[in-house]
């Protein structure tokens, strides 16, 4: 509310009569009220991996965010969706229409184009011209933490290896040399013991299991190590009992001492060796090298790796 300062106002009143009478008076002006400006509607584009959703809101770790002429990357935003929405899927998803976001799936890539307003990391869409949800298959990245955002705890990971057969620059899905990872909802272990995101520090070696949109990823689980482990990765050549032959002939016993190590298949825990097949991709983490290599955990991926962690078939 803007209040005009009181001021002296002289009113000159000229009567259109036979005589002109000049009247002068002084009175304070009335306070003038100004309506609050409405939020300016802007074109908004959000593309990234779904972190969470509830009610009419969805949280996205955005690989691309554009609000009007302002663009940014690798930020977590919460979007309030219009009540009535068109929902169109690609790849293995079928087109469908829904009036609420219950069909949204954590870990999928979501692309939104529409108009609305933004305040900080909160976006409200008043209309959505495009909404596309597509599967982001499970991935595992093995690398070193080079930076941590002090506010969001998002990691910057210098990736050394992946377990899904992709390579740096190949289709932009995995194998990026640098990866931004939202770990806000990830489970964390440090040297095999349960921990939280506060235990993650720059310089630690980690395996991140999750989904990505190009170089922006959402971690489902983070396996961190204060002392860098070693790894064996490549295509599965053969399975003989509990011994797997990987890549150019590296043999690894996945049950050292007769105790099976954790095996995750397409991001699903508690997999067994009989679910592995020749041609699957493996990343095995452990200690030592060559014949002295002792594995501690293994990640496997196959042709059924077509959706987020926990949703894939074996």
Res 151: pLDDT: 82
CB-CB neighbours of 212 under 10 Å: 28
Confidence category of residue 293, pLDDT binned at 50, 70, 90 = very high
**Would you call 290 helix, strand, or coil by DSSP?**
helix
The residue extents of the domains of the chain are: 42-134, 136-314
Cα separation of 299 and 314, whole Å?
13
State the pLDDT at residue 172: 31
The proportion of the chain whose per-residue pLDDT surpasses 70, expressed as a percent, equals 75
- At residue 83, the pLDDT reads 77
Between 257 and 172, the more confident residue is 257
State the Cα–Cα distance between residues 37 and 23, nearest whole angstrom. 39
How high is the pLDDT of residue 8?
Answer: 37
- The token pair that represents 145 in the structure block: 């933490």
Q: In the structure encoding, which two tokens stand for residue 250, read together?
A: 């590296």
Q: Does the domain at residues 42-134 carry the CATH identifier 2.40.50?
A: yes
Q: Per-residue pLDDT for 125 more than 90?
A: yes
CA angle 296, 302, 303 (to 5 degrees): 170
Question: What is the band of 177 on the pLDDT scale with cuts at 50, 70, 90?
Answer: confident
Looking at residue 15, what is its pLDDT?
35
Give the model confidence (pLDDT) of 88-117 as tens digits. Answer: 544 333 333 333 455 789 999 999 999 999
Q: pLDDT grade, residue 240 (50/70/90)? A: very high
Q: Degrees (nearest 5) of the Cα angle 120, 209, 145? A: 65
Rounded to whole angstroms, the Cα distance separating 300 from 268 reads 9
Q: In angstroms, rounded to a whole number, what is the distance separating the alpha carbons of residues 108 and 114?
A: 19
pLDDT at 242: 96
With 80 as the cut, is the pLDDT of residue 66 above it? yes
Residue with the bigger pLDDT between 62 and 27: it is 62
pLDDT at 210: 95
pLDDT tens-place string over residues 249-277? 899 999 999 999 999 999 999 899 999 99
The label of the residue with tokens 């002939």 reads: 249
Task: Return the pLDDT at 167.
Answer: 37
d(CA 100, CA 159): 37
The answer to whether 60 touches 152, Cβ cutoff 8 Å, is no
Q: How far is CA 165 from CA 153, 178, 293, in A?
A: 28, 17, 22
Output the furthest CA–CA distance in the chain (Å, rounded).
Answer: 121
**Residue 154 Cα distances to 74, 197, 225, 239, angstroms:** 9, 9, 17, 38
pLDDT at 180: 94
Report pLDDT for 36: 55
Mean pLDDT of all residues in 196-211:
95
Residue 45 pLDDT exceeds 60: yes
- Sign for the CA dihedral angle at 158, 161, 163, 164 comes to positive
Print burial letters for 235-257: b (CB count within 10 Å at least 16), e (below 16): ebbebeeeebbbeeebebbbeee
CA–CA separation, 183 and 222 (whole Å): 8
What single-letter DSSP state applies at residue 72? Answer: E
Enumerate residues 6+ apart whose C-beta is below 8 A from 213. Answer: 47, 48, 49, 63, 109, 136
Confidence of residue 290 (pLDDT cuts 50, 70, 90): confident
Cα 134 to Cα 144: distance, rounded to the nearest angstrom: 29
**What is the reported pLDDT for 9?**
34
Q: What does the H/E/C string look like for 1-35?
A: CCCCCCCCCCCCCCCCCCCCCCCCCCCCCCCCCCC
Q: What does the pLDDT average to over 204-213? A: 95
């Amino acid at each position: 509310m803007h209040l005009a300062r009181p001021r002296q106002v002289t009113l000159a009143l000229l009567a259109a009569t036979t005589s002109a009478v000049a009247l002068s008076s002084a009175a304070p002006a009335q306070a003038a009220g100004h309506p609050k400006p409405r939020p300016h509607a802007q074109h908004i584009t959000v593309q990234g991996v779904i972190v969470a959703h509830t009610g009419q809101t969805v949280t996205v770790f955005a690989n691309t965010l554009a609000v009007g002429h302002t663009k940014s990357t690798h930020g977590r935003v919460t979007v309030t969706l219009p009540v009535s929405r068109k929902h169109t899927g690609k790849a293995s998803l079928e087109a469908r229409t829904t009036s609420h976001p219950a069909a949204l799936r954590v870990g999928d890539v979501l692309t939104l184009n529409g108009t609305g307003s933004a305040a900080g990391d909160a976006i409200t869409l008043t209309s959505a011209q495009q909404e596309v949800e597509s599967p982001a298959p499970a991935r595992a990245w093995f690398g070193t933490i080079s930076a941590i955002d002090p506010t969001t705890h998002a990691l910057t990971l210098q990736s050394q290896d992946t377990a899904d057969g992709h390579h740096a620059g190949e289709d932009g899905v995995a194998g990026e040399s640098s990866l931004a990872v939202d770990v806000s909802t990830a489970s964390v272990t440090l040297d095999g013991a349960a921990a939280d995101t506060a235990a993650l520090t720059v310089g630690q070696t980690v395996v991140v299991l999750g989904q990505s949109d190009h170089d922006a990823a959402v971690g489902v689980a983070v396996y961190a190590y204060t002392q860098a482990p070693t790894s064996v990765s490549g295509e599965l050549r053969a399975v003989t009992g509990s011994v797997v032959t990987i890549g150019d002939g590296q043999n690894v016993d996945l049950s050292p001492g007769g105790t099976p190590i954790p095996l995750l298949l397409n991001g699903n825990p508690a997999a067994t060796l009989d679910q592995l097949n020749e041609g699957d991709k493996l990343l095995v983490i452990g200690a030592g090298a060559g014949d002295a290599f002792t594995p501690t955990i293994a990640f496997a991926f196959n042709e059924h790796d077509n959706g987020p962690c926990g949703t894939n078939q074996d």
